Structure 1
C-alpha cells in the first residue's frame, strides 16, 4: 500500500511539473501574440485615416522580399503588394500597393482606404471577374526585432476596376499561416501547405482548402491517394486541363536560437533550402542549376545556368575571358537570390527583388528583370540596382544584451512559477545540456531515453508507456526552450 502510494505521488509530481512547463510556454506565446495584435491595430488605425484613392507616379518600390507580384488579368500591368525588409537590426513590414506598367516601364503607387494589415509571405491570385480581382490570403507580421510572428488567416479581395479593398469573412477556412501556396482554378481558390510559428510550437501543414468564388464559402478537401508531406515554400501551378502541380518545398523541426540563423531559415522557406544547405562552402567545380517555370499557357520552360566554382575560375586565363566576352557580348542576368517575386505576362517572366547573402549579411534587392520564356535568349534589365549600395547595420551590443536578458524580466506570475518548479525539481541531477545550434528534434533524439527514464522514475513502473513518453517529451521540450 505504501509503495503504491509513493508511485502515485511520483507520477502526479511529474505530471504537475510538465503541466507547469506547458502553462509557462502558453503564457509566453499568448503574450507575444497580444503584443503583436496591439502593434497591428496601431498600424491599422493609421491606415483608417485614408479616405480617398490616390494614385501617383513614383520611383521603383524600396528593396523587399516575400511580397506578391501578380499579372493584371486584363491590362499590361504587374501588381506588387506587401513584403518585408530587414537591415540587420530592424524588420519592416509593408502593405503598400504598387503597379508596374509594362509598356511604359514605369511605376505608380496606389493608396486605397482600408487595406489589409502589413504582411509578408502571403499569397495572392488574380481572377478575371468584373474588371479583375486580386485575392490575398494569410501571411505573417513580424515584430521589429524579428523574433515574434503573428500569422494571419484573413481573406481579402482588391477590386481592380474600382480600386477598393474588401475583407471577405467566411468561416471554415485554413488556420493562420504563411509560406503557403494559392492558385485560382475553376472558380475556386486552392490553398495548400504553409507553416505557423509561435513560442509554443512550429507547425508545417499539408492540408488543402478551397474557397468558392461564387458562393464565398470555404471547404476542406480530402484528395485521394498519398499526398505531399507537410511543407512550405513549394511551387504550385495549374495545368490547362485543370490539374494542380506541387513541387519541392521546405520543412524543419524547430526554430534556432540565434536570431540571424532563425531569419535565414525562415527566408529559405520559399526556396526549399535549409540552414545546412546555406552553410555549405561554394562549389569547387562547375555546377549546373536547372529551374523549371510554368508559363501562363501551361508550357513548362527550362532555364539552365552553369556556375564555375572558385577552383575553375582561377584556372581561366584573362585571354580566355576576353575571348568569351567578345563572342557572347555583354551578358546580363539576375544575381543569385532567394524569395524573389515572380510573375508571367504574355509569355514573359518578370523577376523582382528578393535577397542574397554575403556571410551573415542579408542584402535586399529592388531590381527588375524579364526574359521571354518562348525564346529564352537573354535577360533584360528593366530596373537596375547596385547591391553594394544596400545598408546593413550590425547588431548592436544593446540588442545582444537584450537577447541575453530575454526572459529574465518576466512578470510576478512567471517568477512564482519558476520558484515552484525549482522546488519541485530540487535535488535532481543535472539535465543533458543543449549543444550550440542544436535543433529540438536532434536534442530530443539524443536525450529521449534520459527523459523517459526520469519520467518513469517519477511516475512509477505501473504508469502506461504512452503517458510516460508524453510526459518525458513535454519535460524535454520545455527544458530545451528554456535553454535556447
Structure 2
C-alpha cells in the first residue's frame, strides 16, 4: 500500500483457505477526503496476480510495482511457486469528474538488477531513487525448502530507469590518517639518511656464483628506487587496511522494516531461518545513503535472547508431552533441568584484541557443528558453512 495524491492505493495479495488459494492483481483506492473505497480499472496490460510485491511512488505521482510471489497447482497436492522479477508503472492519464483514469505500462530497466527473491523491502531514498534491501530466495526440493537470505542494497534510479547495486566505500578518513601517520614516521626516520645519500633510481647488482662443479652462474638483481618502493608500500597499506577493517553490517534477513529520514536509511528487525527454526530479529542499523561508507549499529541483537527463544519452543513441546503422561512435579523438574543445561552451554568467547578473521579460523569447526545440529543431517554442506559463518560473525560483533 502507498499514499498517492490524497489516496491510499492497494494492489494484489492472496487469500488461502483450507482447500484452495487465490492470488489477485486488482487495484483499490481509498479516498482520504471522502473516506470511501473504490475499485480502479486501469487500461493496458498489468502485472500477473501475485502477493508480496513492493510499491513505491514517484515525484510525478505515479506508482512503481516490483517483484512478488505466486504459485499455481500443477496436480493434486503439488504446487509450483514463481518469483516475479518484472516491474510495472501505474500512472494517471487525467482527472475526471468522479475519479482519475489510470493506465498500466511495463518497465524494462537497465543496469544490474537484483537477483530473484521474495521478502525484500523497499523505501524511497534521496536523489529520485528508490532502494531495495534484503530478501530470501527459496530453493524448493522434493521434501524441503532451503532459503538463501540477503543483506544487500540495490538502488533504482527512477529518472534513468536503471538498477545498480549499492557498494560500501568504507570510512576513508581513518585510512588517510593511518597512511599519513606512516608516511610521517617514515619521513622523520629517514631524514638523516636522505641528507647523506643523494636520490637514487633503480640499481642493478650483478653477482657471480661458482657451483661445486666449477660452473660460473651470473645472477642479476634489480633494486627498486624510492618511488617504486613508495608505490608498493601504498598498495600494501591498502591491503592491510582492508584486512584490518572488518565492516559491520546487518545479517542477511527477509521482511525487514525500512525508513529513510534526511538521507539516512534505518533497517529494523526481520527474520531468518536456520534449518527448521525461524529467528525474529530486533536489531536496528542505519547507513548514510549520501556517503555509503559504513553501517552503524543503533540497537544490537542479543544472541542469548535468540537462544532462549529457540529453547523455549522446544521446552513447550517437552512440557506438552509430559503433561499428557501426567505428573506436574516431573514437569517442573524437567523444566528446571532443561534451563540449567541451556545455561551451561556457552559459545567460544572472543579473546582480547582478536580480529574477526582470527576468531572465525579458531572457532569455525564449533560453529559448523552447531549449524549442522540445527539444520539437520540432510542440509547441504555449502549452506551449513554459510550459516555457521553468519552465526559466528553475529556473535563476534555482539561480543566486541
State the TM bucket, normalised to the shorter chain. Answer: 0.3 to 0.5
Q: TM-score, normalised to structure 1's length?
A: 0.39
**Quick one: higher RCO (CA 8 Å, sep 6+), 1 or 2?**
1
Relative to its length, the structure with more strand (as a share) is: 2
Structure with greater Cα Rg: 2
Q: TM-score, normalised to structure 2's length?
A: 0.47
